[in-house]
Structure 1
Amino acid sequence: MKHVPTRLFIGLTLLLSACGAPLSTLDATSSDLQALGGGTKTTAPAAQMVLTTADAKNLLARQSDLSFRADAGSTTYTIDVDTTRTYQEIAGFGAALTESSAWLLNSKLDATRRSEVLRKLFDPALGIGLSYLRVPMGASDFALGSYTYDDVPAGQTDETLANFSVARDEQDVLPTARAIRAVSARVRFMASPWSAPAWMKTSGTLSGGSLKPETYDAYARYFLKFVRAYEASGVPIDAVTLQNEPHHETTAYPSMRFEASDAARFVGQHLGPTFQAAGLQTKLLGWDHNWDEPSYAQTLLSDAAASSYLAGSAFHCYAGDVSAQSTVQAAWPTKDVYFTECSGGGWATNFGDNLKWNVENLVIGATRNWAKTVLLWNLALDDVGGPTNGGCGNCRGVVTIPSDGSAIRYNVEYYALGHAAKFVSPGARRVASTTFGVGNVQSVAFRNPNGTRALIVLNGASESRSVKVREAGKSFTVMLVPGAVATFTWAPL
């Protein structure tokens, strides 16, 4: 993330002015997670229900099972789930394992506390089962300092990449990634660079500038070395993006301007052929920036050479509207869409407002607009939003690890992600479901690889709604209070 997201700040400030006392963070107690295994069971075909409410009195709390009965007709808010109409395959839900997050998890927690937090984050049975992580390639704005994998003294170059090394990441990032994989082998990783090495750039620095055309081949080999080094270290890379936020250039921390025409030439003539010649299956993604410029992704995909190597495009939340993802997908239906970054922070502290925004725009909004992933920004930050490397000064991690050693706090983002990650497995397919639009009952549905259904519902209205869920001529009805989020799961009827 590169700045306080103005769009979110304005919208949530208006909401906060009308709400009561803010609730910034919450603890995920063992009873919260154990509650997922409780509830009242029935003998009729039934759906399990897990609920989070805007007042935070229910946090992924298991409710009584809901029996399917023969349906008697539609009501005002009937959600029809149709598993015969399928859309994108889901790769996973998660966040970014920045160096800051990895340092907090690996170096600031003892083994017992680290094991506990990793289980709550990644274990699909004992925790919320996050299944996809984004790793910066080198330093980002959340790192302990600025670095790449091939830094040489000013004025020198390293065209053969003889100096290339991921040893810095062996301090915290790679050990944490391996520990996560030990908790859940289903977790996959993608990677994004914030900057090429300074000697490859017009600025001669990590902070700002663009990639010199004469270094395109070396930079393609740099990507290849990174993927191979991570795989050799026990962390296979599923996908890489060409550049994090290519239209945000700053001198405050590592960044690089990368115009669409230049990115197309780089991937079409250098990176794509390099990966292909090496036999890599790692996917290549373009853009990796905000919803407000779908034209960049379209320019990349319109280039025949670049498009032949690109698996799709990636998006962030800080400007524009989530519908931009569908705009790109409609023009290029054979290319995938990934949602790769959004952050909460001190500009928005009301639990209920944040829960609603995240579920409405990301968990439901991004997936209904073709996203294969929903990834938030930092997996973990400390109680002052750090450590930072020149970027956002008040961002919030999915979890907060206080510097004084007090209890780890599981923030609203944890519960928003949990409503999807715990119940929607990698390889699931989004399926058709009725939704009633912003400010009302909204939904997204999935069919898991084992055939089970998962339906996520948000009551975005200011009053309670009676919601009917129907599949194959059978239905149940449930009352949802304002701002409530529910996930329903059931076996094929």
Structure 2
Amino acid sequence: MPELKIYQSTGENSLFVEQSLQQLTPIANAEATTTVTIDENHTFQEMDGFGASFTDSSAYLINQVLDNEQKKEVMSKLFDSQDGIGLSVLRNPMGASDYARDIYSYNDMPAQVTDTKLTHFSIAHDEADIIPLLQQALEINPQIKLMASPWSAPGWMKTSGSMIAGELKQEYYQAYADYFVRYIQAFEKHGLPTYAVTPQNEPLFEPKHYPSMLMLPEAQRDFIKNYLKPSFVKHNIHTKILCYDHNWDRPDYPLTVLDYAKDEVDGVAWHWYGGNASAQSEVLKAFADKEVHFTEGSGGEWIPPFEQAFSNVMRTGIDILRNHSKSFVLWNMALDEKNGPTVPGFGKSTCRGIVTVNQETKELTYTLDYYALAHFSKFIRPKAVRIDASTNQEVIRSVAFKNTDHSIAVVLFNDSEKAENVAVKLQGKDDLSFRLASKSALSILIK
């Protein structure tokens, strides 16, 4: 029998609990068994990893509200692969997002004043909380990859004159490309290399109550091909450029960008707030050499009961990985007891963080998203390669990876309304058989 590590989640009060094979419920012989067949010879994408975002709000809560012992604990539980869940991808908003205590860019100017030479460019805001936490995370896990996405260009570059709504003016395309260069160079000086950027978060969404910028596909393809990529080449920057960074329901957007800027774009970034994960594969089929990344999905009060919310992360996470994504990144690393802080005027927040930091009591709690991410990130390590996992019953959702140490990680989720018999079939090894409760998750590491 191979060496096994098994973690199971069966409900709100039993999340990511270590088990032995003997502790799992044995198969009920009277019922049919779903077989999950693992084929190491059929390989797919290599993983960068799993993670979330140190938004301004998240970084403030962890760095300033928690005491030193709590901060040390949460950073270890987030990023240490032994004592924690080993998160390895962090997506940074470039300037303010909806989850920031105020609205800011790295080059704010008074009304009617421009700064095309970026003389006033500064990342001083991020040096208080965000940068120290990123540095700590990298110390704990040097394999972490940093991504960056703006919610808006500085207001003076836009038709609205504000970081809220509007489009990037054509005459400032070069200044905006230079803004990316300055950001990457400034973070590099802090020992923080930027692995990938997207030109704009959710470019088809233009809310009027937090930083946003409409960037149609024709504008994005022009910006990437003729300004951003040439600026990276000029400054010897090797940061990847991912296009789109929005929902699955508009695959026409990245297809439009890639048709024109194929050589300048490294991949496509996706969110889960509309459409189906199969869009990732649809675009990959048309542009087979481009990477697939999943850069944002938040849980929240719109999926209120625990079971539905936990099931959504497990089910959708497996779908994201089966549709070739190299990353699976949720949204805020931390929010408070009111699902904030948010920018002024935002209104009621319904999002959920990976952890909750209660600003009144200073209590630190780990949410269902932490434990759902753990099912993936604890065992599927950076540079793991996805291998084929097929089932004869779709109610048992599965995904499998082979790590660099040759261990096999299998993540299972029973999407049925009843318990199911499951057998995991590995080449040259005995089958692993057990009964899996309805809406429960099981992660197995086989050495």
The Cα shift of 1:473 comes to: 3.8
Q: Give the whole-Å Cα distance in 1 for the aligned partners of 2:231 and 2:61.
A: 35
**Equivalent position amino acid for 1:252 in 2:** H
The Cα shift of 1:66 comes to: 6.7
The Cα shift of 1:356 comes to: 1.1
The Cα shift of 1:92 comes to: 0.8
Deviations 1:118-144, CA, capped at 9 Å, x for gaps: 111111111111111110000000001
Unaligned runs of 5+ in 1: 1-43, 68-74
Q: Give the whole-Å Cα distance in 2 for the aligned partners of 1:270 and 1:83.
A: 42
Q: Is contact 1:46-1:65 (8 Å) kept?
A: no
Q: Give the whole-Å Cα distance in 2 for the aligned partners of 1:84 and 1:223.
A: 41
**What TM-score do you get using the length of structure 2 for normalisation?**
0.95
Q: Give the whole-Å Cα distance in 2 for the aligned partners of 1:449 and 1:232.
A: 31
- Work out the number of aligned pairs and report it: 436
Match of residue 56, structure 1, among 12, 17, 24: 12
Q: Is contact 2:399-2:411 (8 Å) kept?
A: yes
Match of residue 153, structure 1, among 107, 110, 115: 110
Q: Give the whole-Å Cα distance in 1 for the aligned partners of 2:22 and 2:247.
A: 40
Structure 1 residues 411, 79: CA separation in 2 closer, same or farther (over 3 Å shift)?
same
Q: 1:226 is matched with which residue? A: 183
The Cα shift of 1:253 comes to: 1.1
- Report SS of the residue matched to 2:388: strand
Q: Give the whole-Å Cα distance in 2 for the aligned partners of 1:219 and 1:455.
A: 43
Q: Give the whole-Å Cα distance in 1 for the aligned partners of 2:94 and 2:22.
A: 46
Q: Give the whole-Å Cα distance in 1 for the aligned partners of 2:22 and 2:432.
A: 6
Q: Give the whole-Å Cα distance in 2 for the aligned partners of 1:359 and 1:115.
A: 28
1:81 matched to 2:35? The reply is no
1:319 matched to 2:274? The reply is yes
- Report SS of the residue matched to 2:196: strand
- Report SS of the residue matched to 1:117: helix
Q: Give the whole-Å Cα distance in 2 for the aligned partners of 1:100 and 1:45.
A: 44
The Cα shift of 1:350 comes to: 2.0
Deviations 1:334-361, CA, capped at 9 Å, x for gaps: 1011111111112323222211111111
Q: 2:70 is matched with which residue? A: 113
Deviations 1:437-491, CA, capped at 9 Å, x for gaps: 66x1010000111111000000111111111111114312111111110001112
Q: 2:387 is matched with which residue? A: 431
Q: 2:412 is matched with which residue? A: 457
1:292 matched to 2:246? The reply is no
The Cα shift of 1:234 comes to: 2.0
Q: Give the whole-Å Cα distance in 2 for the aligned partners of 1:334 and 1:216.
A: 27
Q: 1:210 is matched with which residue? A: 167
- Report SS of the residue matched to 1:266: helix
Q: Give the whole-Å Cα distance in 2 for the aligned partners of 1:237 and 1:449.
A: 24
The Cα shift of 1:152 comes to: 1.0
Match of residue 139, structure 1, among 82, 91, 96: 96
Q: 1:33 is matched with which residue? A: none
- Report SS of the residue matched to 1:159: coil
Match of residue 242, structure 1, among 199, 224, 232: 199
Alignment of 1:384-423 (within 5 A): 384-389=338-343, 390-391=345-346, 393-423=349-379
Q: Give the whole-Å Cα distance in 2 for the aligned partners of 1:329 and 1:484.
A: 31
Q: Is contact 2:75-2:137 (8 Å) kept?
A: yes
- Report SS of the residue matched to 2:166: strand
Deviations 1:35-87, CA, capped at 9 Å, x for gaps: xxxxxxxxx3243211011x2342211111479xxxxxxx7411111111110
Q: Is contact 2:34-2:393 (8 Å) kept?
A: no
Alignment of 1:1-20 (within 5 A): none
Deviations 1:262-306, CA, capped at 9 Å, x for gaps: 110100011011111222111000110111101001101111xx2
Structure 1 residues 453, 66: CA separation in 2 closer, same or farther (over 3 Å shift)?
farther
Deviations 1:417-449, CA, capped at 9 Å, x for gaps: 0001111111111110014566x1010000111
- Report SS of the residue matched to 1:219: helix
Q: Is contact 1:100-1:387 (8 Å) kept?
A: yes
Q: Is contact 2:135-2:191 (8 Å) kept?
A: yes
Q: 1:170 is matched with which residue? A: 127
Q: RMSD of the alignment, in Å?
A: 1.4
Q: Is contact 1:427-1:449 (8 Å) kept?
A: yes
Deviations 1:5-40, CA, capped at 9 Å, x for gaps: xxxxxxxxxxxxxxxxxxxxxxxxxxxxxxxxxxxx
Q: Give the whole-Å Cα distance in 2 for the aligned partners of 1:158 and 1:100.
A: 28
- Report SS of the residue matched to 1:425: coil
Q: 1:486 is matched with which residue? A: 442
Q: Is contact 1:49-1:66 (8 Å) kept?
A: no
**Equivalent position amino acid for 1:335 in 2:** K
Q: Give the whole-Å Cα distance in 1 for the aligned partners of 2:392 and 2:136.
A: 41
Match of residue 369, structure 1, among 311, 316, 323: 323
Match of residue 155, structure 2, among 198, 203, 211: 198
Unaligned runs of 5+ in 2: 24-31
Q: 1:127 is matched with which residue? A: 84
Q: Is contact 2:147-2:194 (8 Å) kept?
A: yes
Q: 1:103 is matched with which residue? A: 60
Q: Is contact 1:47-1:66 (8 Å) kept?
A: no
The Cα shift of 1:189 comes to: 1.0
Alignment of 1:247-266 (within 5 A): 247-266=204-223
Q: 1:345 is matched with which residue? A: 300
- Report SS of the residue matched to 2:276: coil
Alignment of 1:459-478 (within 5 A): 459-474=414-429, 475-478=431-434
**Equivalent position amino acid for 1:383 in 2:** E
The Cα shift of 1:406 comes to: 4.2
Q: Give the whole-Å Cα distance in 1 for the aligned partners of 2:392 and 2:324.
A: 18
Q: Give the whole-Å Cα distance in 2 for the aligned partners of 1:45 and 1:229.
A: 48
- Report SS of the residue matched to 2:39: strand
